[in-house]
Amino acid sequence: MSADGVIRVGVLGFGGLGQAAARILEPKTQMKWIAVADRKGYAYNEAGLDGDACIATVRDRGSVGYVDPYGTLSNNSLQELLEKANADGYFLALPNLPNTFMADVARMFIHSGWRGVLVDALKRTSAVEQLLQLQYQLQAAGITYMTGCGATPGLLTAAAALAAQSYAEIHSVKITFGVGIANWEVYKATIREDIAHLPGYDVDKASQMSDLQVEALLDKTNGILALEGMEHADDIILELVGICDRDRVTVGGVVDTRNPKKPLSTNVKVTGRTFEGKISTHTFTLGDETSMAANVCGPAFGYLKAGKTLHRRGIYGLFSCAEIMPQFVS
C-alpha cells in the first residue's frame, strides 16, 4: 500500500472484464490502477495508468504492450509484470482456458515471492477445487487469495449466504442469470466458457473453437445461449461454508450475445425451513440495468479491498466470496 493508504491495483487480462475494471477504477480514490497485462504485453506506471488510453491502444493495436510510454511487448507478460510492478493486489480477469490456467497463475505467484491479494472471478467448481489444493501454499507464501468473487459465483453466492441466515435448514439455492451483450467478441473467454457447458461441448472443445466456429454456433441459436445445470462453483463455495450440500445448488441462465438488454432478470432464490417449521423463499434480484461487467468487477474490487484488510492483519490463504463480506471501494 502506498504511503497515502491507497491500494495499488493490477488487472491481469484486458478483454471485456479487464477493460471494464479499468473504467470502474478510474474515479476511485481508495484504489489506484497501476499495472495491466494481456496475452501480448503489459503496461506499468507507479503513478497510475490512463484507462481510456489503454482501451484505445488495445482497440487500435491489439495489446497494452503498445501503450506509450509505459507498455512493453512480451510473450511472458504476467511473469514480467509481476517482477516489475509494485502492486498490492491483482484482479485476475483472465480466461480460465484450459481449466487449469488460473491454478497455474496462482502457482506462478506463489513461486515468485510476491506477497499481496489476488482476486478471481472463476466459474467452474473443478477450477475452485484446484485452488483449494493450493490453500496452504498460498498461506505460506503470504498471499490472501479471494476466489469466486465475480457475479456468479460472487455477488449472488454472497447474497445466498446472507439469505440463508433466516433458516434452520436450506433446501435449495437456485441461481438464474440473464446476460445481454451487444457483441460476443467483447467477452470472448466468457462466451467460450459458457459454450463449454452446452450439451456435446466441454472446456477443451470450446477453447479450441475458432472465432468463426463460435459465430457459426451463435448463428444457429440466433445469438442465444441457454444454459442449465451448469458446473458452477457457487455449489462448492456454499458447501464449504456449511450452508447446504452442493447438490442443492443449481445454476443456469440465458446469454443473449446480440442485444445488451438482459433476456431475463438475474436472481437467486434461497428456499429453506425456519426454526418455526415454515418453508419460505428469499429472492434477491439484480437490477436489469446493471451489466455483467458492473456485477462482476464491482464485487471483485470489493473483495480485493476486504482481502487487503485481511492481508494487513497477517491473514493469508484461500477465501471465498461466501466467507468474507466485500468492502465498498470509494
Residues of the shown chain interacting with ligand NAD in the complex, contacts defined by CB under 6 A: 13-18, 37-39, 77-78, 93-96, 121, 123, 150-154, 187-190, 193, 292, 296
259, three cell numbers: 442485444
271, three cell numbers: 428456499
193 given a catalytic annotation: yes
Catalytic residue among 83, 171, 193, 231: 193
23, three cell numbers: 473504467
Least distance between ligand NAD and beta carbon 249 (Å): 15
Least distance between ligand NAD and beta carbon 234 (Å): 9
Residue 10 vs 272, nearer CB to ligand NAD: 10
Q: How far apart are CA 35 and CA 82, in angstroms?
A: 9
Least distance between ligand NAD and beta carbon 140 (Å): 25
Q: How far apart are CA 62 and CA 38, in angstroms?
A: 9
Catalytic residue among 32, 123, 262, 311: 123
111 given a catalytic annotation: no
Q: Which residues lie closer than 8 Å to 54 by C-beta, 6 or more apart? A: 14, 19, 22, 36, 43, 64, 67
Residue 155 vs 167, nearer CB to ligand NAD: 155
Residue whose Cβ sits closest to ligand NAD: 15
Least distance between ligand NAD and beta carbon 179 (Å): 8
Q: Which residues lie closer than 8 Å to 277 by C-beta, 6 or more apart? A: none
16-25 and 51-61 helices, crossing angle to 10°: 160
Residue 121 vs 306, nearer CB to ligand NAD: 121
| Residue listed under C-alpha cell 428456499 | 271
Residue 109 vs 167, nearer CB to ligand NAD: 109
Edge to edge, the sheet with strand 224-227 lists 224-227, 249-256, 169-180, 267-273, 279-285
Residue 18 vs 116, nearer CB to ligand NAD: 18
Catalytic residue among 32, 197, 308, 311: 197
Residue 41 vs 272, nearer CB to ligand NAD: 41
- Residue by residue, DSSP assigns 278-330 as -EEEEEEE--TT--HHHHHHHHHHHHHHHHHHHHHTT--EEEETTTS------
Least distance between ligand NAD and beta carbon 258 (Å): 16
**326: cis peptide before it, omega within 30°?**
no
Using alpha carbons, list the distances in angstroms from residue 325 to 149, 304, 312, 330. Answer: 11, 11, 16, 16
Q: How far apart are CA 8 and CA 29, in angstroms?
A: 11
Least distance between ligand NAD and beta carbon 19 (Å): 8
Catalytic positions, please? Answer: 123, 193, 197
